[in-house]
Structure 1
Amino acid sequence: MRMKPFGYHGAAILLTIASKAAGYVLGENLVLRDETNTTIPAPVVASVSQYWEGNDGPWSSFAIQVGKTAQNVRVFPSTASTSTLVVINVGCPEDAPSNCKDARGGLFNKNNSLTWVPNSIFDVGIEENLGFNVFGDFGFDTVTLGWQGSGGPTVEHSIVAGLGDTTMTWLGVLGLNPRPTNFSTFVNNPQVSLVQSLKNQEAIPSVSWAYTAGAQYRLDKIYGSLIFGGYDTSRFTPSTLTFPFYEDISRNLVVGVQKISSSGTSLLETGVFAFIDSTLPYFYLPTSACSAFETAFGLTWNSTSELYLVNSTQHASLLKQNANITFTLGTTTSGGETVDIVLPYAAFDLNISWPHVEETTRYFPLKRATNDTQYTLGRAFLQEAYLIADYERFNFSVHPCKWEPNAKSSIVAIRSVNDTTENPSNTTTPTGNKGGSHSSSLGGGTIAGIVIGAITGAAILGAGWYLMRRRGLCGCGEPSELDATETEREQNRPAVPLDIIRAQKAGDEQELDSSGIHELPSHHKFGVLEAPGGDETFPKPSELDEQRARQGRFSEVFEMDSGPIVRIEPPTAIETEAPDLPTPGQLEAVERAQERRVGHDDQDEER
């Protein structure tokens, strides 16, 4: 019994079966490979500028680049702002100190940036509850974390505002609040914040950050620490207390200040809710609490500057007293779990200068709040507190800072709520080190890939072998017609008049031509745009036929029974078909021969 050819559908079935079988057998390994090799982004450690600066105390600033070509500026992190605020030229008026440009962290010039996209003049949207009404020249530009060449992540088209104000913040600020900003110039199109953009482009593992302001008075001047998507366990003593975000999204980092005390003396009559705001250095507390501070530390309120200025005599007394002030925090204003943040007097021993006062003087960073919306724990508080905010889980935590000489950083990633991988080894290393263990043996996923490749490759080779055999282009076997008997070939041919078949068989029988089959010149594999010679015009099939005929390169293929010649015409004649039908000239010749024979027979009959 003759076997039927496998066919094109058979080749497709073979490939499908091979793929399904490999997936079925190695399904577990494939899933395992996907799970174990998933890598989450590492946290980004912001670069400290290694400057201590500010007109309201020595603060540790951070380096960023704005615009293209990049302009280096130094900023303070702001837990309240959603935007990057940078000082511009009008922020250094004529009566400013001579070193104003550098003292303010460097100025940004939008005209020197190729990527600046203007927006409009808007209120910066922060500290309004504290009596500030500051406007900025808003636009969009490229923002990169760190100094030039540090390799920090870049956010294109980030919200940037130029500040000319000198009263709210001396340096620019880096907004840490990830909520979007609504502009009247972009109706129903909130603009994405810097932190959210970092997460969107997978530069950080989650919408989160950790910050502490640093303390110049601790050890050998400990700089601040700002980490996006993680925290540094070497910088704090962990607390188990977690705070939910406050309902006001502009003041979401609100804690219950249950007690403020020093050496057994209470400095707060009743608990209050206060916002942790690193934009400003001050503690805004109830008037009664400020009175308690005045009594305990001999402070005097200056109504002109609205500051507690400290003269040299007071300063010497305070240094001698060297009091510690403890803030007891909870999720409510009384009861429940709490955490204590203890600040030495050195945390309050600060200097202030122009434009707040004419000459630099010491001050105590305490402000009288006029209402409960102003209660604030400012940057001075974060000298001794480590703040971790997780905007995906809507909570934050406050931990007492830990001061250990030569402590080695230990960065831990905050995983996204959408991260379902089980491999934690990729979450504890800073940017530049993906972490994880390494093994010299092949994993399940690697083995799966090898086996699938082998099975699929074998299937493709088998299908390709069959297709080439069908087309007569492979020397690995004879065409299927050679396996058929003479009777089968006669039965499978199309119907041809019997006398024509007899006339064909009258010719000389010949063997199958053994000359090679030639392919078209290689340039036929290129399109017009890909051709080596450019926009080249290739020969038409008829021209190519004439050219090859002159070169004697045509190959003639004959059937075993010496049927008519079948010429392979480029480029589609790949498979030999049944014999050609007779041409009209051949039919006329046969008819004339028949007529002559018929006329000869008639003459014989007459004779």
Structure 2
Amino acid sequence: MFKSQVYFPLFPIPLWTPLWSLYFINVHGAPYLEMPFDTSKSFGYDGPWYTVPVAIGSNEQTVNLFPGSQWAPTILSTTVCEDIPDCVSKKGGLYNYELDESTYPNTIGFNAKGVDTVPYGSLFDAEGQNYGQFAQIKVGNGFSRVTIANASISRVESVSLFYGRKEVGMSNGFLTLGAVDDAHAFGSYRPVIPLNNLAKTGVIASRSWGMHYPSAKLNQLPSLVWGGYDRSRISGPIERFDSDSNAVKKMDLIGMNIDTAIGKSPFSYQKKSNLLVNPLSNGKDNVLRVELESALPYLVLPQETCDAIAEELPVRFDRTAGFYFWETSNPLYQGIVTSPSYLSFDFRVSASQNFTIKIPFALLDLNLTAPLVTTTQAYFPCMGARLDTESSDGAILGRAFYQADFIAQSYETRKFWIAQAPGPSYTSPDIRSISMTDISLDAPTSRDDIWIQSWNSTWKVVPFETTRSPPSESSSASSPTSKTGAGISTGAIAVIVKSITL
């Protein structure tokens, strides 16, 4: 990485800010900016995922970006598709810097190659080349649309990612969510970080954001607010954590379980515990340090953990692709992904307090498409992590995790917040700003039934038999399953088969 420093503009509101955006700020008194997602189409060969459209350059070239990562937005250049037929990157929009008539230089001295070409490129043995540059960026929508004239961007000229033996390009770039500093330092150049610049110029209340990045497959509406958050996207207890010195969001994962929110479990047990396996624990504390990052699509966990979870599911591991494919012809598949069963993540808040996020299996039923596979495949998004034996870094909870939670972050106070997010049914938006000094967020009263109600329209609940008590808890440590799907109950099979034949 390169060293960055703060750059303060000479004017409280820059001269390039449109007059209508001043009206929006001063009259409507809304010190936040709702970032519009384009929900008319989705992107990604491992999703689907919604994106945020952003206009780049003086001629406003539209590119569709995944929200995630920090510092300069990652923008794919038209050169990434040179001599590549059916280039996967074209669908999301590409930036032709030669058509950009802005007065800023196209390159400003910084470039990176190989795994540093894109964020988290080392996970995919990335190859390629990028360049730092100034660019005009327009974000927002309608009367809340604003312009950042001297934004820093990372222009990717070429990139290849490797999934096993498969080489593919990137589908989309990234709309970054701020940084610890307000500008990059490239010699005499000081291109600004978009979110930070809007805070410095008073367009938003603070260097902060709040997001719920839900399922495009279930047609859930996403929410991303710069300088604020949507209170309606909180449907459980909210916890506050400290980010590290680089404002990276990390937590201690202490357990993973399979459980069922309501009704009868499709498994032979109501709850399966001890699914988290940390190969670096050496028989001691099984705590796994995990990073939260929406730039990545997957649950990047120790391979041993992915395997332990997969043992409970009707999935098979494809070594060529490196993914777990759902066995969609198995009736157990539909029974699980439509049930109120979920994969839970237990985090340590303090020595005496834990915190849980629940991901329904409906959100872990994603699709792989070309060019990763020749025909669409349903997959379970757990990917083996490359854990650093010294720092223990390498485990990352990506977009698949973000579908189920609300996350907000403040660079002012170096805090981030996390809470359970609702399912497909939730109340109307309730946008709040995040001030420069906020260390807590106003959240609704926490009730588990609110979260369950938000999923009622999606789940198929199987009631308990009145003559029998619920199945007991099972532990993978004491009673491991020996084959795929071995944890599914025969009673659940009968119910599922009956529903299919009716």
TM-score (norm 1): 0.57
Q: Distance in 2 between matches of 1:275 and 1:236?
A: 21
- Whether contact under 8 Å (2:178, 2:195) holds in the other structure is yes
Q: Any idea what the Cα deviations from partners look like across 1:461-513, whole Å, max 9, x if unmatched?
A: xxxxxxxxxxxxxxxxxxxxxxxxxxxxxxxxxxxxxxxxxxxxxxxxxxxxx
- Whether contact under 8 Å (1:41, 1:202) holds in the other structure is no
Corresponding residue number in structure 2 for 1:324: 342
Selected match of 1:152 from 134, 138, 145: 145
Q: Distance in 2 between matches of 1:70 and 1:128?
A: 28
Q: Distance in 1 between matches of 2:213 and 2:361?
A: 16
Question: What pairs up with 1:169-208 in 2 under 5 angstroms?
Answer: 169-180=170-181, 185-186=186-187, 191-208=191-208
1:309 is aligned to 2:325: yes
Q: Distance in 2 between matches of 1:94 and 1:106?
A: 17
Higher strand content, 1 or 2: 2
Q: Which letter does structure 2 place at the counterpart of 1:56?
A: D
Corresponding residue number in structure 2 for 1:127: 120
Q: Distance in 1 between matches of 2:258 and 2:360?
A: 10
Corresponding residue number in structure 1 for 2:130: 136
Corresponding residue number in structure 1 for 2:49: 59
- Whether contact under 8 Å (2:117, 2:159) holds in the other structure is no
Q: Distance in 2 between matches of 1:101 and 1:273?
A: 33
Corresponding residue number in structure 1 for 2:210: 210
Name the SS of the counterpart of 2:304 in structure 1: helix
Name the SS of the counterpart of 1:300 in structure 2: strand
Corresponding residue number in structure 2 for 1:260: 256
Q: Distance in 2 between matches of 1:305 and 1:385?
A: 28
Q: Which letter does structure 1 place at the counterpart of 2:175?
A: L
Question: Cα distance 1:313–1:46, how it changes in 2: closer, same or farther (>3 A)?
Answer: same
- Whether contact under 8 Å (1:119, 1:139) holds in the other structure is yes
Extract unaligned runs of 5+ from structure 1.
Answer: 1-36, 425-607
1:346 is aligned to 2:354: no
Q: Distance in 2 between matches of 1:358 and 1:194?
A: 38
The percentage of aligned residue pairs carrying the same residue is 21
Structure with bigger gyration radius: 1
1:106 is aligned to 2:93: yes
Q: Which letter does structure 2 place at the counterpart of 1:373?
A: D
Deviation at 1:150, TM superposition (A): 5.3
Deviation at 1:106, TM superposition (A): 1.0
Q: Which letter does structure 1 place at the counterpart of 2:214?
A: G
Extract unaligned runs of 5+ from structure 2.
Answer: 1-25, 162-168, 260-270, 278-285, 443-502
Deviation at 1:125, TM superposition (A): 6.0
Q: Distance in 2 between matches of 1:299 and 1:408?
A: 37
Q: Which letter does structure 2 place at the counterpart of 1:137?
A: Y
Q: Distance in 2 between matches of 1:91 and 1:400?
A: 38
Corresponding residue number in structure 1 for 2:401: 381
Q: Which letter does structure 2 place at the counterpart of 1:140?
A: F
- Whether contact under 8 Å (1:62, 1:146) holds in the other structure is no
Deviation at 1:41, TM superposition (A): 5.4
Q: Which letter does structure 2 place at the counterpart of 1:112?
A: L
Name the SS of the counterpart of 1:199 in structure 2: helix
Q: Distance in 1 between matches of 2:233 and 2:241?
A: 20
- Whether contact under 8 Å (1:387, 1:397) holds in the other structure is yes
- Whether contact under 8 Å (1:255, 1:274) holds in the other structure is yes
- Whether contact under 8 Å (1:180, 1:191) holds in the other structure is no
Corresponding residue number in structure 1 for 2:244: 246
Q: Give the number of aligned pairs.
A: 372
Q: Any idea what the Cα deviations from partners look like across 1:161-217, whole Å, max 9, x if unmatched?
A: 222325374211101132348878427x76531121111111110010011112235
Q: Which letter does structure 2 place at the counterpart of 1:319?
A: Q
Q: Which letter does structure 2 place at the counterpart of 1:47?
A: P
Q: Distance in 2 between matches of 1:292 and 1:165?
A: 33
Question: Cα distance 1:398–1:245, how it changes in 2: closer, same or farther (>3 A)?
Answer: same
Corresponding residue number in structure 2 for 1:19: none
- Whether contact under 8 Å (1:319, 1:345) holds in the other structure is no
Name the SS of the counterpart of 1:312 in structure 2: coil
Name the SS of the counterpart of 1:114 in structure 2: coil
Q: Distance in 2 between matches of 1:184 and 1:302?
A: 44
TM-score (norm 2): 0.68
Question: Cα distance 1:406–1:241, how it changes in 2: closer, same or farther (>3 A)?
Answer: closer
Deviation at 1:83, TM superposition (A): 1.2
Q: Distance in 1 between matches of 2:117 and 2:89?
A: 21
